[in-house]
Structure 1
Amino acid sequence: MIEVQAVTLKLNGVRLEPLAPAHAPGLRAAAEDGQIWKLRVTWVPGPEQVDDYIGAALTMPNRLAFAVIDDDSGAVMGTTSYHDIMPEIDRVEIGHTWYAKSRQRSGVNTSCKLMLLAHAFNTLGCEVVGLRTDNLNHASQAAIERLGAHKDGVIRHHAARRDGSVRDTVIYSILRGEWHGIESALRDRLQLHAGA
C-alpha cells in the first residue's frame, strides 16, 4: 500500500517542493504571465484568488500540491499535484497543473511529469497513475498523449467550468508495466530539448 508524503524533487533545473503560503507572490506572478486565469478550458486562479487556491490545495483530502520552481532563480513557474490518492489500490493522479505562459512548451512540463511519474512508480510503488483534462483542452490532451498515456475514456457532464458551462472530462492512465518505456522516451525527449 503506497504512502504519499511531502517530498522535494529536482531535475533539469526544475524543483518541485511542497506548496506553501509563502509561494503566493510567485504564483500570482505566474498566473499574471499571459493572464492564463482567463482560459476557459483549465482552472487557474486569478491573482486575487491565489491565497484561497493555496489554502484549498493544502486542505483538500488525498492531495499533495507542489510549487514548480526554477532551481536557479527561485522563481515560481506554476503548480502541480498528486491528487485522488488511493493507497488501497496503489493509485495516484497527477493534475491541478498549470504554468506561467512563458514557461509553457519549454521542457518544464516534461521535467515535472518525469519527476512525478518516476517518484510514483519507482519510489511509491504505484500500480497506475492517472491524468485527466477538459475535453476542450486539446493542448493538454496532446501533452498527455505525448507522455505515452492511454486514453481510458470520457466522463460526460462531469465538472463545472469557471464560466458556468459543464465540461466533459477525458481520463488517461499509465500502468506500471508501461512505465519503463515511457520513462526512456521522456528522458530522450529531455535530452533532445536540452540540445535544441
Structure 2
Amino acid sequence: MSFQFQFSENYILESEIVRLEPLEQSHIPSLLTYSLHQPEIWKFSSIAAIGEENFKKYVQIALDQREKLIEYAFVVYDKRTNEYAGSTRFYDMQLQNKTLQLGYTWYGSQFHGTGLNKHCKYLLLEFAFEKMGMERVEFRADNTNERSKSAMKSIGCKVDGVLRKNMLKLDGTRRDSIVLSILRDEWFDEVKENLKQKL
C-alpha cells in the first residue's frame, strides 16, 4: 500500500547527526534561548519571534497551521552536541498537486556552518520525494538574504525567479522574494547524490 501523509502522525526523521521531530509546545523551553539571546537570527523572519511571548505565539501559529492541514513544523536536534538547534517546516502543502514549500528554517548561530542544515535538508527532501511522492519542493527567501540563498543553491536548488514586493516585512516595508525549487527528477538524477557527498 502506498504511503499517505497524515498531519496527525508524528513523523521522526533522523540520521547519525540529526533528529527531526514534530514541533510541540514542550519544545519551547529548549528553544527559547534563541529568541531571547540571538536576535540576529530573526532578521529575515516574517513572523515576530523575539521575546518570550512572541516566541510562544510563533510556535502556536505553527501548531495551528498543522491543525489546518497546511503546514508541518519540525524541531531540529543535533545529536553531536545533544542540543535542540532550531526549527524548520513544510508549508503551503498542496498534497493534491504534489508540491510543498520547505522553509521557516532557523538555527542557533552556533550551528551555522557546522553542516547541520545540509543533514536536515537531506532528510526532509528524501522524505518529501521518496515517501510523500512530491513532484516539486519550493524554497523562498528574502532576496537580500545572501546566507539563505547560498545555502539553498549549495544543496541543488535552481532559481525560478524573483517575486517583487510580494511580502510585508515586520518593519512595514515590503520584500522581494527569490523563489527556488528542486523537481522530482532532479532529486533522483543528481541532487540526492551531490548532497549526500557533502554530508
Question: What per-residue deviation string (whole Å, max 9, x for no partner) do you get for residues 79-136 of structure 1?
Answer: 0000000011111110010000000111110011000000000111111111000011
Among 36, 57, 60, the residue aligned to 1:55: 60
Does the residue aligned with 1:22 lie in a helix, a strand or coil? Answer: helix
Structure 1: 4+ residue segments shifted above 4 A: none
After superposition, the C-alpha distances for 1:15-55 in whole angstroms (9 at most, x for unaligned) are 1000000111121123345333552x334611321111110
1:20 counterpart (2, 18, 24): 24
The equivalent of 1:130 in structure 2 is: 138
Q: Where does the alignment leave 5 or more consecutive residues of structure 2 unmatched?
A: none
3-state secondary structure, aligned to 1:16: strand
Q: Retained in 2: the 8 A contact 1:42–1:137?
A: no
Residue 45 (str. 1) matches residue 49 (str. 2): yes
Relative to structure 1, the CA distance from residue 149 to residue 4 in structure 2 (aligned partners, 3 Å threshold; closer, same or farther) is farther
Task: Look up the equivalent residue of 1:107 and give its one-letter code.
Answer: G
The 1:107/1:55 distance shift into structure 2, 3 A limit, reads same
TM-score, normalising length from structure 2? 0.88
Q: Which letter maps to 1:186?
A: L
Cα distance in 2 between the residues matched to 1:172 and 1:99 = 20
Is contact 2:41-2:106 (8 Å) kept? no
Query: Which residue of structure 2 aligns with residue 187 of structure 1?
Result: 196
Q: Are the equivalent residues in 2 in contact too, given 1:82–1:92 (CA < 8 A)?
A: yes
Unaligned runs of 5+ in 1: 191-196
Identity between Structure 1 and Structure 2 (%): 31
RMSD of aligned residue pairs (Cα, Å) = 1.8
Q: Which residue of 2 aligns with 1:11?
A: 15
How far off is 1:138 after superposition? 1.0
Match of 2:186 in 1: 178
**TM-score, with structure 1 as normaliser:** 0.89
Q: Alignment partner of 2:45: what SS?
A: coil
SS in 1 for 2:49: coil
The one-letter code sitting in structure 1 at the alignment partner of 2:186 is: E
2:85 and 2:107 in contact (8 A); partners too: yes
Number of aligned residue pairs:
189
Distance 1:83 1:89, change over 3 A: same
Is 1:115 aligned to 2:123, yes or no? yes
Contact 1:135-1:168 at 8 Å conserved across structures: yes
The equivalent of 1:193 in structure 2 is none
Kindly provide the amino acid, as one letter, of the partner of residue 141 in structure 2. T
Which SS does the other structure have where 2:29 is aligned? Answer: helix
Deviation, 1:12, is 3.3
Q: 2:110 aligns with which of 102, 105, 108?
A: 102
The aligned counterpart of 2:168 is 160
| Cα deviation, residue 74, structure 1 | 4.2
- The one-letter amino acid paired with 1:111 is H
Conserved 8 A contact 1:33-1:101:
no
Task: Return the match for 2:155 from 147, 151, 158.
Answer: 147
Q: Which amino acid aligns with 1:93?
A: Q
Secondary structure of residue in 2 paired with 1:141: helix
